[in-house]
Chains A and B, each alone.
Chain A
Amino acid sequence: MRYHEVMKQSTIIFLAQLAMSPGGLSAAALTTGIDEQAQLPYWEIRDEGMSLRLVQRIPDQSRAFFLARGFSSEQVERIAGRCVFQTVFRNISHEAQPSPLHYRQQDWTVQHRDRGASILTREDWARLWEREDAAPAARIAFQWALLPAEQTYEAGDYNWGMTMIDLPPGSRFKLEVTWEQFGETRSFLIEDLQCASDQPVSS
């Protein structure tokens, strides 16, 4: 077997692997640790043009924040009974190669014990608060406190907001994040994301 024949064959295999990689080739990497400000565990995906950090948020933090915004104790328990992360989603594409970044949370998937779970969006909660006749100021604060369900970021843009998943505190699950940038759809699977409980879960 000649050298160039082997190279040709292995190049075909290599290109086929690239073509088969889900969501296109993504150079994304995952880091975990303790968030400096929150002093709670975080998971951060970093790709060439994006970063997404999910920081645990303990139920008592949600209770305190939303009570102060005007929700009743009963309403606050609906939030504290869910899995909540503080989220920072950034477009970090360099000025020399800026590329818009677009995502829709409805494209993301949550898998918990071999079953799916929902990411609760502003719209989902708005229907609940409407039924419960929550205070208008509380509803407005809630709407803006969540990470947008869909957003487009130009280079340098970012949002900060909560991501709420319809799972109880303390749950461990898989989250597949999908976004569009550099003309292609990319995705990354976080294998073992952990919701905070009232006693922080270590990473």
Chain B
Amino acid sequence: MCQRPARIILNALLVHCVLLSAILTTPVLAQPSTPQTLPAFLGKPAPEFTLPDTEGRTHQLSDYRGKVVVLNFWATWCPPCREEMPAMERLHQRVGDEAIAVVAINVGEDEDTIFRFTGDYPVTFPLLMDREGRIVEEYPVIGLPTTYIIDPAGIIRHRAVGTREWDAPELVEELRALLRE
């Protein structure tokens, strides 16, 4: 069956315009929500460190062997770092009596600066100080905040770049799952 050429061409163009529009717009319209996930990472031993906290006590990573460690790198001037501090504190409150430790390492700042920060963002987990920025380079961290999840054997299992809702049920369950292994 034949059709008039002009009409055929017009129909063909119309079909492809619709197809192109669908391809170009569908992903933009279907904007996904930010997933609360902990991407798997490396599986290599976490670098050991010895760092002071803001109370003058010294902490070593090996002190936490046998626990899951949520190790956060942050700075007071970093807006997303500040944003996630309350969620880390809620996580600490929620799992404090389990073998899950929340530890935050401040990058490059002094006790006074951190003390002023905790006036606005009170936390009860240890705040360690990497004044010269050496430990942050060893892990390695590329942007702040970054959080490593270290299993009870001292192996890095996950890395989260940017903030997370740390007390979200799915994340708490992932941490508990590491304890059950």
Residues of A within 8 Å of B109, CB to CB, are 137, 141
Contact B161 A140 (CB under 8 A): no
Partner of B80, one of A69, A151, A153, A160: A160
Contact A144 B108 (CB under 8 A): yes
Contact B12 A6 (CB under 8 A): yes
Docked complex Cα distance between A28 and B32 (Å): 14
Against A, the Cβ 8 Å flags (1 = close, 0 = not) of B1-39 are 011010011011101100110011111100110111101
Docked complex Cα distance between A167 and B41 (Å): 38
Contact B3 A3 (CB under 8 A): yes
Contact A69 B32 (CB under 8 A): no
Q: For the complex, is A116 an interface residue (Cβ under 8 Å from B)?
A: no
Contact B32 A156 (CB under 8 A): no
A160-B75 CB under 8 A given contacts A92-B31, A92-B32 = no
Q: For the complex, is A170 an interface residue (Cβ under 8 Å from B)?
A: no
Against B, the Cβ 8 Å flags (1 = close, 0 = not) of A1-21 are 111001100110010000000
Q: For the complex, is A130 an interface residue (Cβ under 8 Å from B)?
A: no
Residues of A within 8 Å of B32, CB to CB, are 92-95
A160-B162 CB under 8 A given contacts A92-B31, A155-B39 = yes
Contact B35 A159 (CB under 8 A): no
Residues of B within 8 Å of A14, CB to CB, are 16, 19-20
Residues of B within 8 Å of A155, CB to CB, are 35, 37, 39
Q: How far is the CB of B68 from chain A (nearest CB, A)?
A: 19
Number of interface residues of A (CB under 8 A): 44
Q: Which of B62-121 contact A (CB under 8 A)?
A: 75, 77-80, 107-110
Residues of B within 8 Å of A53, CB to CB, are none
* A142 nearest in chain B by CB position: B108
A27-B24 CB under 8 A given contacts A6-B9, A157-B161 = yes
* B159 nearest in chain A by CB position: A154
Q: For the complex, is A198 an interface residue (Cβ under 8 Å from B)?
A: no
Please list the residues of chain A having a beta carbon within 8 angstroms of any beta carbon in chain B: 1-3, 6-7, 10-11, 14, 25, 27-29, 46-48, 65, 68-69, 90, 92-95, 98, 136-137, 140-141, 143-145, 147-148, 150-151, 153-161
Please list the residues of chain B having a beta carbon within 8 angstroms of any beta carbon in chain A: 2-3, 5, 8-9, 11-13, 15-16, 19-20, 23-28, 31-32, 34-37, 39, 75, 77-80, 107-110, 131-133, 142-144, 159-164
22 A-B pairs whose Cβ atoms sit less than 8 Å apart in the complex: A3-B3, A7-B12, A46-B28, A48-B28, A93-B32, A95-B32, A137-B108, A140-B108, A140-B133, A141-B77, A144-B78, A144-B143, A151-B143, A155-B39, A156-B34, A156-B35, A156-B160, A157-B161, A158-B161, A159-B143, A159-B162, A160-B79
